[in-house]
A and B are shown apart, each in its own frame.
Chain A
Amino acid sequence: DSGVTQTPKHLITATGQRVTLRCSPRSGDLSVYWYQQSLDQGLQFLIQYYNGEERAKGNILERFSAQQFPDLHSELNLSSLELGDSALYFCASSPRVNTEAFFGQGTRLTVV
């Protein structure tokens, strides 16, 4: 158990809908990362927050947004969902920026 909690574990939704994925980092970790992993693909970096502030952005679609709240939990919002958004979405946390990351179990999103 990494100490990072992601909810929900599975999500099935229709095209055009909007969903919110939630992440609670390890106790004491200030940095949160979001990654997307499609079937048999590597981890694509989406976005990183540190202590509530956005620190780095990857190839995140405009339909996707995220934030980190004062209690350090983070949410990833995916809207106008398309079939191609079906993937595993992982959250990771670390104590500081530029250090090793500890991953949650992921949210498997299926868009039908």
Chain B
Amino acid sequence: TQLLEQSPQFLSIQEGENLTVYCNSSSVFSSLQWYRQEPGEGPVLLVTVVTGGEVKKLKRLTFQFGDARKDSSLHITAAQTGDTGLYLCAGVEVGNEKLTFGTGTRLTIIP
């Protein structure tokens, strides 16, 4: 079983629509990050959340860390074709030092 499960695994929506992707675990994390990866490239950090209940906004992207620090969500408003990519959450479990990545959500925005 994966430490961090992301859902949905694949998502294809029309440009202009809103969407939410989820990152869930049964473990508690000291911090959680979201990355976007494009084909053949390395993941690029989008945001880090560290406090339970924290909400961070990055233009049309809203990130939330669960109150119990076990889960997170990424909401995109008015999706654009440039949002297409693989979205990965990653976290460091409390008491651990490994940065573990989730299973990923592959997002396709259709023009």
Contacts and interface: CB of A to CB of B under 8 A. Distances in A.
Interface in A1-26: 2, 4
A106 B44 CA distance: 12
A95 to B, nearest CB: 12
A106 B42 contact: yes
A92 B42 contact: yes
- By CB atoms of chain A within 10 A, which of B35, B43, B102, B104 has the most? B43
Interface residues of B, number: 24
A43 to B, nearest CB: 4
Interface of A: 2, 4, 33, 35, 42-43, 45, 48, 55-56, 58, 88, 90, 92, 94, 97-106, 108
Interface of B: 2, 30-31, 33, 35, 40-45, 48, 88, 90, 92, 96-104
Return the 4 tightest CB-CB contacts between A and B, nearest first: A103-B42, A43-B101, A56-B98, A98-B92
